[in-house]
Homo-oligomer: A and B are copies of this chain.
């Protein structure tokens, strides 16, 4: 199997995309190879040509989503600007994902029970990197004097946890619009960091 083959890589991505759709709906253990294959008009067996096993496929799904989110945050950070404004954009982006991509974003919250040791290691590395982007902006703020934090790593976790929790209670027809939520969250987060 030439994995370097362009066609193969394309197909892998298609499978990933379909798998992510299914995982969004059913969760990791709820997703079946059967349903994923069906979405692609393929058969179960074919998936095993591209992925070693379900665990491998699930792992790469997780990777894919996390990487995508990572890239978007990197862009925001790269663009630069006033620290608080950059943070605001990152918050907006993260909350957007948490609300609009709800289930996809849940990927990030799924337990690591499904991955083996090496996969787990890589997953943690990626997670750390993603979370590190928030550390990055916090550090900028600390240097610029905009922020103050006793334990910046914990501050970052508090912020992430708070934002991820939104998907538990957010309703499209709720009291607050997405924009208002972002604004209020931003205000509270600033309180944490000042």
Contact = CB atoms under 8 A, between A and B. Distances in A.
Interface in A43-69: none
A147 B33 CA distance: 51
Interface in A158-194: 158-166, 168-169, 176, 181, 184-185, 187-188, 191-192, 194
Number of this chain's copies in the complex = 4
Contact of A30 (B113, B155, B191): B113
B113 A188 contact: no
Contacts of A168: 107-109, 161
Contact of A113 (B26, B163, B184, B192): B26
A42 interface: no
Interface residues of A, number: 37
Given A157-B166, A161-B165, A165-B161, A30 B27 contact: no
B27 A113 contact: yes
B150 A184 contact: yes
Given A151-B184, A158-B165, 4 more contacts: A26-B113, A154-B176, A155-B188, A162-B165
Interface of A: 26-27, 29-30, 103, 106-111, 113, 150-151, 154-155, 157-166, 168-169, 176, 181, 184-185, 187-188, 191-192, 194
Top 8 A-B pairs ranked by shortest CB distance? A161-B165, A158-B162, A161-B162, A162-B162, A29-B29, A154-B184, A161-B161, A151-B184
